[in-house]
């Protein structure tokens, strides 16, 4: 058994099994057994189930938010607004989106081709700790609606809401064996999922280094593979940006969920002409963020995910100093003034200036409340800087000229770009990265395509 801790208090809140190959094999057997009946339902029947799951989760939405906040250390208001809300809407969205899916038909002079979709089979879903149920449901919903059965492993650091999902499915008499959740560590439980020969597809969200292991194991087995990996995203402030709006937007992009969102803008690139005017506004926006008790409704930034992660983030702050950086704001651990939080893993939002764009702190994914600021002298240089890391997940551009912003966005090697906004999501759009940020896309049709196999049936006319 493994201890599961609340990172804001350092207290053990649960114990989870570290499942092994035999446990994963049992889960896969259950999923295989349930597959014929589940795929045999009509699409309409599966859509009804998705809506029922959404309804049941909605009735527990406060429970989801509280559990997620306790498990991750994120502020309760954020857990309500983002985690609970999106977990529910993921099911509603894919129910609606699948309804609109039509079959392609290609007519020849003497035959008709019917392109039909079949489920892939038993699919393996592996997810990280930063948005636990949000990212798990983002995979579970499309997998289910396309007729697959599931073996899923949440992060060992945040198992609670996956368990809550399992309980919810049980309470609504969801067919047994269709969704199987196995808890445990990556190298044991996760690896067993990757290696199981009856699991036909792997949808993975997590770090780039883990993604390499996933690809190395599942690739030679010809499993269908979706990899959503890390990022080092740029927030680009052009010389014509509204500085107040850009400062608030860049601060939100850098520090939401303590900077632990794969889409966070952890490098802010600023036109030299406005650098001195922008930075004080940015620092003011960061200083206004309240760090502390996740249970407090007015908290903006809670703890990071674990003590070990806090130490990793603090070691990057030390490295930044050695690399010649200047800490302009924050830079240290915080111990909130609350008895239960004395062992919590809190870090003040940290702003670092004067680092080279090629320094380790400006190129490696820190995945914490740390942002580096960089000056550029031309649009060309800004694009070069934005594209200068191994990653290519997301980015945002701030300008008063949206045509210029869109042109700029076209030159950045990332899967997701925003102009004058950040984390503004339409679930129908493709989501995913290029370069070492991943392979494949999720969202809308892209998720439904991943969780289905196309077959062409060519029927000769009578
Ligand atoms: P991680 O790679 O350490 O773990 C992710 C999952 O993989 C966990 O469930 C873990 O137990 C499992 N795992 C670890 N080793 C494994 C192995 N050998 N075989 C199979 N499974 C294994 O990532 P994390 O620290 O949980 O999450 C943070 C990372 O996730 C960051 O890099 C972040 O950018 C990335 N992320 C990406 C996206 C995206 O959509 N691109 C979204 C959220 C997070």
Domains of the chain: 2-229+437-460 (3.40.605.10), 234-427 (3.40.309.10)
Q: Which residue is closest in CA terms to ligand 1's atom 13?
A: 186
Ligand 1 center–CA 394 separation, angstroms: 17
What pLDDT does residue 19 have?
A: 98
Active site residue 103: no
Residue 342, both tokens: 């004395």
Residue in 191, 345, 375, 376 with CA at minimum distance from that of residue 279:
375
Ligand 1 center–CA 229 separation, angstroms: 7
What pLDDT does residue 380 have?
A: 97
Residue 441 beta carbon below 6 angstroms from any ligand 1 atom = no
What pLDDT does residue 47 have?
A: 98
From its phi and psi, is residue 359 left (phi > 0), alpha (psi between -120 and 50) or beta? beta
Residue 194 beta carbon below 6 angstroms from any ligand 1 atom = yes
Per-residue pLDDT of the chain (462 residues; tens, 9 = 90+): 999 999 999 999 999 999 999 999 999 999 999 999 999 999 999 999 999 999 999 999 999 999 999 999 999 999 999 999 999 999 999 999 999 998 899 999 999 999 999 999 999 999 999 999 999 999 999 999 999 999 999 999 999 999 999 999 999 999 999 999 999 999 999 999 999 999 999 999 999 999 999 999 999 999 999 999 999 999 999 999 999 999 999 999 999 999 999 999 999 999 999 999 999 999 999 999 999 999 999 999 999 999 999 999 999 999 999 999 999 999 999 999 999 999 999 999 999 999 999 999 999 999 999 999 999 999 999 999 999 999 999 999 999 999 999 999 999 999 999 999 999 999 999 999 999 999 999 999 999 999 999 999 999 998
Query: Using an 8 Å Cβ cutoff, are 142 and 128 in contact?
Result: no
Ligand 1 center–CA 205 separation, angstroms: 5
Residue 392 beta carbon below 6 angstroms from any ligand 1 atom = no
What pLDDT does residue 28 have?
A: 99
Residue 442 beta carbon below 6 angstroms from any ligand 1 atom = no
Active site residue 228: yes
Residue 129 beta carbon below 6 angstroms from any ligand 1 atom = yes
Catalytic residue of the set 200, 262, 264, 361: 262
Query: Using an 8 Å Cβ cutoff, are 349 and 330 in contact?
Result: yes
By most ligand atoms within 8 Å of CB, the mutation choice from 2, 133, 186, 446 for ligand 1 is: 186
By most ligand atoms within 8 Å of CB, the mutation choice from 207, 304, 392, 430 for ligand 1 is: 207
Q: What's the CA gap between 294 and 94, in Å, rounded? A: 31
Ligand 1 center–CA 56 separation, angstroms: 28
Straight-line distance from the first to the last Cα atom of the chain, in angstroms, rounded to the nearest whole number: 64
pTM of the model: 0.98
What pLDDT does residue 375 have?
A: 98
By most ligand atoms within 8 Å of CB, the mutation choice from 72, 128, 192, 442 for ligand 1 is: 128
Q: How many CA atoms are closer than 13 Å to the CA of 309, on its beta-carbon side?
A: 26
Catalytic residue of the set 68, 156, 228, 353: 228
Residue 128 beta carbon below 6 angstroms from any ligand 1 atom = yes
Q: What's the CA gap between 64 and 68, in Å, rounded? A: 6
Residue 423 beta carbon below 6 angstroms from any ligand 1 atom = no
Ligand 1 center–CA 266 separation, angstroms: 18
């Amino acid at each position: 058994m493994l201890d599961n801790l609340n990172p804001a208090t350092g207290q053990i809140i649960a114990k989870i099994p570290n499942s092994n190959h035999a446990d994963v094999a049992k889960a896969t057997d259950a999923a295989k057994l349930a597959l014929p009946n589940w795929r045999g339902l009509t699409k309409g029947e599966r859509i009804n189930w998705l809506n029922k799951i959404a309804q049941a989760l909605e009735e527990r939405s406060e429970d989801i938010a509280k559990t997620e906040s306790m498990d991750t250390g994120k502020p309760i208001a954020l857990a309500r607004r983002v985690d609970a809300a999106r977990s529910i809407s993921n099911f509603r969205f894919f129910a609606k989106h699948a309804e609109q899916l039509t079959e392609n038909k290609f007519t020849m002079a003497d035959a008709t081709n019917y392109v039909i979709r079949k489920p892939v089979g038993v699919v393996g879903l592996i997810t990280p700790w930063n948005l636990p149920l949000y990212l798990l449901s983002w995979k579970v919903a499309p997998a289910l609606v396309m007729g697959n059965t599931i073996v899923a492993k949440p992060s060992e650091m945040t198992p609670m809401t996956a368990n809550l999902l399992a309980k919810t499915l049980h309470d609504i008499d969801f067919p047994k064996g269709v969704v199987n959740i196995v808890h445990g560590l990556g190298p044991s439980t996760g690896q067993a999922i990757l290696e199981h020969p009856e699991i036909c597809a792997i949808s993975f969200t997590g770090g780039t280094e883990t993604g390499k292991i996933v690809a190395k194991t599942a690739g030679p087995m010809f499993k269908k593979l979706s990899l959503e990996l890390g990022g080092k995203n740029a927030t680009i402030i052009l010389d014509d940006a509204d500085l107040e709006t850009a400062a608030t937007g860049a601060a939100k992009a850098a520090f939401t969920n303590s900077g632990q969102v794969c889409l966070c803008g952890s490098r802010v690139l600023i036109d030299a002409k406005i650098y001195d005017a922008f930075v004080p506004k940015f620092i003011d926006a960061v200083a206004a963020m309240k760090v502390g008790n996740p249970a407090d409704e007015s908290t903006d930034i809670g703890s990071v995910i674990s003590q070990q992660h806090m130490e990793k983030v603090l070691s990057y702050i030390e490295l930044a100093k050695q690399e010649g950086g200047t800490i302009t704001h924050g830079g240290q651990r915080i111990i909130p003034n609350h008895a239960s939080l004395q062992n919590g893993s809190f870090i003040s939002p940290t702003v670092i200036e004067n680092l080279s764009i090629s320094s380790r702190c400006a190129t490696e994914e820190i995945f914490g409340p740390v942002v580096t600021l960089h000056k550029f002298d031309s649009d060309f240089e800004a694009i070069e800087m934005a594209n200068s890391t191994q990653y290519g997940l997301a980015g945002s551009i701030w300008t008063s000229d949206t045509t210029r912003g869109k042109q700029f966005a076209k030159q950045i090697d990332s899967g997701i770009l925003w102009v004058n906004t950040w984390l503004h999501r339409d679930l129908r759009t493709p989501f995913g990265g290029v370069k070492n940020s991943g392979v494949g896309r999720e969202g809308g049709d892209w998720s439904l395509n991943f969780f289905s196999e196309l077959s062409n049936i060519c029927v000769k006319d009578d």
